[in-house]
Amino acid sequence: MTVAATEVLIVGAGPTGLVLACDLARRGIRFEIVERADRALPGSRGTGVQPRTQEVFEDLGVLDDMRAAGGPCQLMLSWDGETPLGTWDLVERRAPDPRVPYGEVLMLPQWRTVELLTDRLRALGGRVRYGAELTDLVQDPDGVTARLRHGDGSHTLRAAYAVAADGGRSAHRKAVGVALTGDDVDPSPALVADVAVEGLDRDHWHMWPHAEGGVFLLRPLEGTDLYQLVARFDTARETPDADPEAVRRLIARRTGQPRLRLREVAWASVHQARAALADRFRAGRVFLAGDAAHVHTAAGGQGMNTSVQDAYNLGWKLGRVLRHGADDALLDTYEEERRPVAADVLGISTRIHRSYRRAREDAGAGRGRDLQQLELGYRGGPLSRELRPGLAEDALQAGDRAPDAPCVDRSGAPTRLFEAFRGPHFTLLAFGATALPAPFADGAAVRALRVGRPGQDADLVDVDGHAHQAYAAHGLFLVRPDGYVGLAGADPHSVRDYLR
């Protein structure tokens, strides 16, 4: 048995673990990411990447590849057997605007998202250790000691912190004694499978809302010749069966279209809709993130997105503590910020799931902005310092997502605020004549930029006025590494205090 040492142990190489690993890699933090499976998990599972998650992926440098691999959400086409009933839109769509560069959900199979994140991690110098399962974890005041089992034996790893990104059944969560509290939202299980079917167009998300035995859906999966099949089952009458012959009979019976031909079942899983939240997201030196911390129903496409946001919230805080001397108490704010958000999102996805059960058809049609996760934030939270009195409720405030805006730089080249934010640093924006603090000793950790109108001496020139409109005519806005306004005010000393 060997003992190795690292700074952060990440357990699980799903979307949560990989996003955290990419973020830590670009911060120069030493980590190990271990995955018990021999390769990335197959299966289309969470196929909707919401606009806020696209912004995170842009910051991590992986969005272009995802957009190339994915596509927009297809229109729903409802059927009654062989009779098409009409199309309708499931999702909210808006054109990109200066504040919001991505206006609608991006669809791609989760295995592809995982593959692209894994490629990005490799480009950043990291790698997943496959076939390594966490079997035991103990912690003490200085760190954690983990036992990892792999093909050629087992070894012990010491780390300053560990992150359980090991999914809804998280053994890691149980090992540190954190309970997951919640309900079975729906007694009926669903069969979810990736299938090759001939005889159906690939331009729509096909739905048989009143199929005999339960609702039935087939959605074309981007970059493949497969569809994601979802079938709900009333277990009093039948149970889900992923055997290809059973799936062939299921397709024929639920669609009433004998011309549809099943060629292949590439992957299948039985999904029981649950909604549950971990009682704590931190237990000493162990953090729970993603499905290990909250389990959503698939309705509304929130699980993977909430998971990615957890990792994005935690990454920079671990970086500040491990590299910039921040107090360990900063890490308490992970739970303080993310648990209420996860609870809110759980409420939304559970409501949508229940409305589907009642109405069965277009209950979620035109589902709103709350699913896009753009309006989630940390107002009033432990890291939000709003120093301007008497603001209107709809004004941009500390804790809100920091909006994008097009600008030009000193050379006259077009750029965007999101370009300025990109990377592991804080960004301080100074509008109007507001004084900037003296240069920071730790200059790489804070990027200070003056935003001006045309003709003013500024690092970023707000040619069309969008930045001033989104923020304010004057004042300081300290944008956190995860893209939220940490502090808003006018006093340069307050920025120093905040960073301390």
Ligand X SMILES: Cc1cc2nc3c(=O)[nH]c(=O)nc-3n(C[C@H](O)[C@H](O)[C@H](O)COP(=O)(O)OP(=O)(O)OC[C@H]3O[C@@H](n4cnc5c(N)ncnc54)[C@H](O)[C@@H]3O)c2cc1C
Site residues (vs ligand X, CB under 6 A): 11-17, 34-37, 41, 45-48, 110, 133-134, 165-167, 171, 192, 271, 290-291, 298, 301-305, 307
Burial code of 337-371, b = ≥16 C-beta within 10 A, e = fewer?
Answer: bbbebbeebbebbbbbbbebbeeeebbbeebeebb
Closer residue to ligand X, CB minimum distance, 299 or 458? 299
Structure token digits, residue 185: 């939202």
Closer residue to ligand X, CB minimum distance, 106 or 430? 106
Structure token digits, residue 259: 């011309």
Closer residue to ligand X, CB minimum distance, 15 or 364? 15
CB of 346 to ligand X, least distance (A): 12
CB of 92 to ligand X, least distance (A): 15
Closer residue to ligand X, CB minimum distance, 129 or 248? 129
Angle at Cα 434 formed by Cα 431 and Cα 435, nearest 5°? 125
Closer residue to ligand X, CB minimum distance, 34 or 398? 34
Cβ proximity of 477 and 488 under 8 Å: yes
Closer residue to ligand X, CB minimum distance, 372 or 384? 372
The span from the CA of 493 to the CA of 385, in Å, is: 13
CB of 40 to ligand X, least distance (A): 7
Structure token digits, residue 28: 């120069």
CB of 149 to ligand X, least distance (A): 9
Cβ proximity of 420 and 476 under 8 Å: no
Q: Which is it for strands 426-431 and 475-479: parallel, antiparallel or unpaired?
A: antiparallel
Closer residue to ligand X, CB minimum distance, 293 or 495? 293
Structure token digits, residue 471: 């923020």
The span from the CA of 268 to the CA of 265, in Å, is: 7
Closer residue to ligand X, CB minimum distance, 307 or 372? 307
Closer residue to ligand X, CB minimum distance, 171 or 463? 171
Structure token digits, residue 200: 């159906």
H or E segment at 72?
A: strand 71-72
Q: 146, 54, 160, 129: which is closest to 418 by C-alpha?
A: 54
CB of 14 to ligand X, least distance (A): 2
The span from the CA of 297 to the CA of 308, in Å, is: 16
The span from the CA of 378 to the CA of 438, in Å, is: 28
CA 254 to chain centre: 33
CB of 372 to ligand X, least distance (A): 12
CB of 305 to ligand X, least distance (A): 4
Closer residue to ligand X, CB minimum distance, 173 or 450? 173
The span from the CA of 331 to the CA of 317, in Å, is: 6
CB of 309 to ligand X, least distance (A): 10
CB of 203 to ligand X, least distance (A): 20
Contacts 24+ apart (CB under 8 A), 271-274: 271/189, 271/190, 271/191, 271/192, 271/298, 272/184, 272/186, 272/189, 272/190, 273/184, 273/185, 273/186, 273/190, 273/297, 273/298, 273/299, 273/353, 274/168, 274/182, 274/183, 274/184, 274/185
CB of 442 to ligand X, least distance (A): 32
The span from the CA of 56 to the CA of 43, in Å, is: 23
For residue 469, report the phi and psi dihedrals to the nearest 5 degrees. -65, -40
Half-sphere exposure of 166 (CA within 13 A, CB side): 24
CB of 16 to ligand X, least distance (A): 3
Closer residue to ligand X, CB minimum distance, 221 or 331? 221
Report the sign of the C-alpha dihedral through residues 342, 344, 347, 353, in that order: negative
Closer residue to ligand X, CB minimum distance, 12 or 220? 12
Q: Is 109 helix (H, G, I), strand (E, B) or coil?
A: coil
CB of 324 to ligand X, least distance (A): 27
Cβ proximity of 205 and 301 under 8 Å: no
The span from the CA of 156 to the CA of 149, in Å, is: 9
Closer residue to ligand X, CB minimum distance, 113 or 255? 113
CB of 38 to ligand X, least distance (A): 10
